[in-house]
Structure 1
Amino acid sequence: MEKIKQSKLFDTLSKKMVWGFIFLITLGTVFLSLPAATQGAQGTRFIDTVFTAASATCITGLTVVNTAQHWSFFGQVVILILSEIGALGYMTFAVLLFNIIRRNIGLSTQLMVKESLNLENLSDTKSVLKYVFGLSALFQIGGAILLAFDFVDRYGWKRGLYVSVYHSVMSFCNAGFDVFGDSLMGFRDDSYLLIVTIILIIGGGLGFLVWRDLLLFHERHRLSLNSKLTLVTTGTLFVVGFVLLLITEKDLSLLPKGTSWINRTVNTLFLSVTPRTAGLITLPTSDLQSGSVFLLMILMFVGGTPGSTAGGIKTTTFGVLMLQSIAQLRGKKDVEFSRRRFSQSNISRALLLVFLASIVIVLATLILTQTERIPKGFGLEYIVFEVLSAFGTVGLSLGLTPHLTVIGKIVIMLLMFIGRVGIFTSLYSLSKRQTKVNQIRYPEENILIG
């Protein structure tokens, strides 16, 4: 009975979260539809307005119109606010509003926050929210100040401060929107700017629970199993991605011959970090080697950490399945890490998540192969890359998004939505499942596998 009650509660919360994000996208569409949101007398097709609002709310960064050239200052600010709310979760801002008006937070609100931040216990809600607001402010304000040293010198005080704040927020939120027109391609020789951006991307993608554990380590003298697995998996993916990109790109041979080894290294580091759902780029993605494009696809599929501003199947899911595979190959029954054993429900949930994600990606790819045109010189990767970018809420593109058909835009919007809200939350909110406790258990029998 207790499991049935918990299941019904989760279904209710899932529906509320889904409708909450739909409301935000709708609100963003209304504001971006206003004449003041575009530059000059430019109009925006309704589907493009919805797409932009969805991309911002789902902190993806895929764009059908150039953000710098199409949207006015007002429109860019709307995109900025949508990205901020989408990154931290609309329920987080609801709690902030309750605190401002000094109203107590109800149990249902706490449960919504718990689900949106992927918290294990309800008691963690209030303490984690303090870190969410504190760390978000620290990273974004600190990042804006550090970036101002660069941008103010380039653009002057007014434009420089605006660009610093915008880029800091988008980097930390892993949103991928830019006000330069070509992402960060014009700054590939600015190692200082790229390093600050890398720090902001990692800061947002690491997850608030992990940051809380790290900041409280001097008191607790231990890290949770979730934080340990996250740090190990993130570090491994970062190092392996960096080394493989050095090999596949031949030390970024596409850069001019006079480029220093420091800039080559920093650009490679950036290329290793940005597929983890950041979406900012210093090099044309379409000019990368096939091996690099394939590696970026893998990194986009994995994504960031649960409870962070990142998407994908998450580092913990990838880590658990890797450990499960290693344990099976070694003939071990239990999956162990850091003197702890993962529960079977954890492993089953990870397997289900990857299976469902694969099904969604395959279906989306099949649809887009029928509705979109693949340019000469590209193959199936032209579509698969975009699908993984949308699902992982990354924002990188091989060039398909600006040329999407209406059906293609709807498919990509759905992928961004599922990637941000979560595949379990999205599917549970749509299904009318009934949780049953099996009264009968049939005899067990094995089949041939492999």
Structure 2
Amino acid sequence: MILKAKHSSFMTRLPQKMTLGFILIISIGTILLALPIATKGATPTPFIDVLFTATSATCITGLTVVNTAANWSIFGQVVILAMSEIGALGYMTFAVLLFNIIRRNLDLSTQIMVKESLNLENLSDVKSVTRYVIQLSALFQLSGAFLFAFDFIPRYGFGRGIYISIFHSVMSFCNAGFDVFGDSLMGFRNDPYVLIITVILIVAGGLGFLVWRDLLLYPYRKHLSLNSKLTLTTTLSLFIVAFVLLFLTERNLRILSGDTSFFTRLVNTLFLSVTPRTAGLITLPTDALHPGSIFLIIMLMFVGGTPGSTAGGIKTTTFGLLMLQSIAQLKGKKDVTFCKRRFSQANINRALLLIFLASMVIVTATLILTQTETIPKDFGLEYVLFEVLSAFGTVGLSLGLTPHLSVLGKLIIMFLMFIGRVGIFTSMYALLNRKTKLDLVRYPEENILIG
């Protein structure tokens, strides 16, 4: 009974512990980036900008108020790289790695925190999945760096080329959006080789570690979990729809020069359809896109990637489940089914709650920023809404607002990046100190008019 009470008490405090863990990483990053060695030149970076950068890196967003290549030294860029890696894989993953290095067993509380941070179902999976996450991440990132080196070393020399290859591979896989070129990937829009490798890394990071485990074990198990099936179906559908619609709205990227090949245009369109799913790297100026493309990108940023991945947003599984729920309701079906499996009502209710909470956060933040920030004459509400969704979805794309944010605006964007990475449920539970309560009274049921 005592052990059960202690376990229940720990689970109640778990959101606070996980939230404080991310705050600790951001604090350490802020201290390191505030050091004189982290900044180029003699002029120190303002504290609010340092804090903003540390938050953006830890929350793997990529929104910046200062140019990464121009403002931060190699030391500062490496700090940003390390924070992005920790933020992408989860600080608890590195805690388990440290325990393994010093050959210490994980206590129960640490195992529970790892289980929750990686969205695992069983405690018995903690060690094996953590080891798998680290190995798979290292494989993708090292492979990406190796392939990038064939392009970057001839461009920048051996030492600089290796550094850029590693940096860009990590940022692509982690969906972080930082770059050391100064203009993201706009200088590589005519280099399909770099763009295709980047797309592969972005998709690999945004697909989710548990989905990858299912795919790699499929030849032996001959079975995919329902979560993996829904994730793959929703992800593939979003890619196809986004690619086709962006191809149409951008008229096959008419903003590119006339001598750009058809294949290069297709690769850039593919890149544009992938990067809003929380990657944040761009090959084209976002503010030059067609309004229809901007609206589509906003919707893609809201959906985001997969639970347990390096991506943000409401997640593909949430979007897919609500789509299936809507179809079932329109057909008059009581149960929501997919691949001969039925979703629980608790699952559906959680998805609906997530959508509602996310919408309220986005609406509130947008309303505040319309009062605190200056909107250029050529733009309307989309100028602010785009930035809000980019921060909440930990994407990193911008129409140009971020470098001109007021202090209050920076704080709001930082808050959005934080809850976008930590998770809106974890953030809310930590803030409200949520406890499960048993209702002793159940009132009579009654219906109201809907629609």
Report the TM range for the smaller structure's normalisation.
over 0.9
Which amino acid letter does the alignment assign opposite residue 191 of structure 2?
Answer: D
| Structure 1 contact 172–203 (Cα < 8 Å) conserved | yes
Q: Does 1:156 align with 2:142?
A: no
Q: Does 1:384 align with 2:385?
A: yes
2:390 and 2:107 mapped to 1: Cα distance? 36
For residue 40 of structure 1, report the CA deviation from its aligned partner.
1.5
1:126 and 1:145 mapped to 2: Cα distance? 28
| Structure 1 contact 42–70 (Cα < 8 Å) conserved | no
Match of 1:118 in 2: 119
Which amino acid letter does the alignment assign opposite residue 431 of structure 1?
Answer: L
Q: How does 1:11-410 map to 2 (within 5 A)?
A: 11-410=12-411
Which amino acid letter does the alignment assign opposite residue 448 of structure 1?
Answer: L
1:232 and 1:34 mapped to 2: Cα distance? 46
Q: How does 1:406-417 map to 2 (within 5 A)?
A: 406-417=407-418
For residue 13 of structure 1, report the CA deviation from its aligned partner.
1.0
1:7 and 1:388 mapped to 2: Cα distance? 35
Distance 1:10 1:134, change over 3 A: same
Identical-pair percentage: 74
Match of 1:437 in 2: 438
* TM-score normalised according to structure 1 size: 0.98
Cα deviations across residues 85-141 of structure 1 (Å, max 9, x unaligned)? Answer: 000000100000000000001111111111111112222212211220111000000
| Structure 1 contact 4–435 (Cα < 8 Å) conserved | no
Which amino acid letter does the alignment assign opposite residue 238 of structure 1?
Answer: F
Which amino acid letter does the alignment assign opposite residue 332 of structure 1?
Answer: K
Which amino acid letter does the alignment assign opposite residue 253 of structure 2?
Answer: L
| Structure 1 contact 7–435 (Cα < 8 Å) conserved | no
Matched length: 450
Distance 1:298 1:5, change over 3 A: farther
For residue 361 of structure 1, report the CA deviation from its aligned partner.
0.3
- Which 4+ residue blocks in structure 1 deviate beyond 6 angstroms? 1-7
| Structure 2 contact 281–397 (Cα < 8 Å) conserved | yes
SS at match of 2:113: helix
The answer for unaligned runs of 5 or more in structure 1 is none
For residue 412 of structure 1, report the CA deviation from its aligned partner.
0.1
| Structure 1 contact 174–310 (Cα < 8 Å) conserved | yes
2:23 and 2:362 mapped to 1: Cα distance? 21
For residue 433 of structure 1, report the CA deviation from its aligned partner.
3.3
1:143 and 1:433 mapped to 2: Cα distance? 42
SS at match of 1:42: coil
SS at match of 1:216: helix
SS at match of 1:438: coil
Which amino acid letter does the alignment assign opposite residue 24 of structure 2?
Answer: F
The answer for unaligned runs of 5 or more in structure 2 is none
For residue 42 of structure 1, report the CA deviation from its aligned partner.
2.5
2:298 and 2:104 mapped to 1: Cα distance? 45
1:288 and 1:4 mapped to 2: Cα distance? 56
For residue 436 of structure 1, report the CA deviation from its aligned partner.
1.6
Which amino acid letter does the alignment assign opposite residue 50 of structure 1?
Answer: L
For residue 6 of structure 1, report the CA deviation from its aligned partner.
7.3
| Structure 1 contact 304–314 (Cα < 8 Å) conserved | yes
Distance 1:404 1:3, change over 3 A: farther
2:334 and 2:5 mapped to 1: Cα distance? 29
| Structure 2 contact 10–109 (Cα < 8 Å) conserved | no
1:369 and 1:18 mapped to 2: Cα distance? 28
| Structure 1 contact 229–319 (Cα < 8 Å) conserved | yes
Distance 1:122 1:441, change over 3 A: same
How large is the Cα RMSD of the aligned pairs? 1.3
Cα deviations across residues 230-261 of structure 1 (Å, max 9, x unaligned)? Answer: 00000000000000000110100000011001
* TM-score normalised according to structure 2 size: 0.98
SS at match of 2:135: helix
SS at match of 1:114: helix
Match of 1:427 in 2: 428
For residue 7 of structure 1, report the CA deviation from its aligned partner.
6.5
2:109 and 2:159 mapped to 1: Cα distance? 43
Cα deviations across residues 135-160 of structure 1 (Å, max 9, x unaligned)? Answer: 10000000000000000011110110
| Structure 1 contact 174–204 (Cα < 8 Å) conserved | yes
Which amino acid letter does the alignment assign opposite residue 27 of structure 1?
Answer: I
2:393 and 2:449 mapped to 1: Cα distance? 34
For residue 435 of structure 1, report the CA deviation from its aligned partner.
2.2
1:108 and 1:434 mapped to 2: Cα distance? 18
Distance 1:190 1:54, change over 3 A: same
1:377 and 1:234 mapped to 2: Cα distance? 34
1:294 and 1:329 mapped to 2: Cα distance? 26
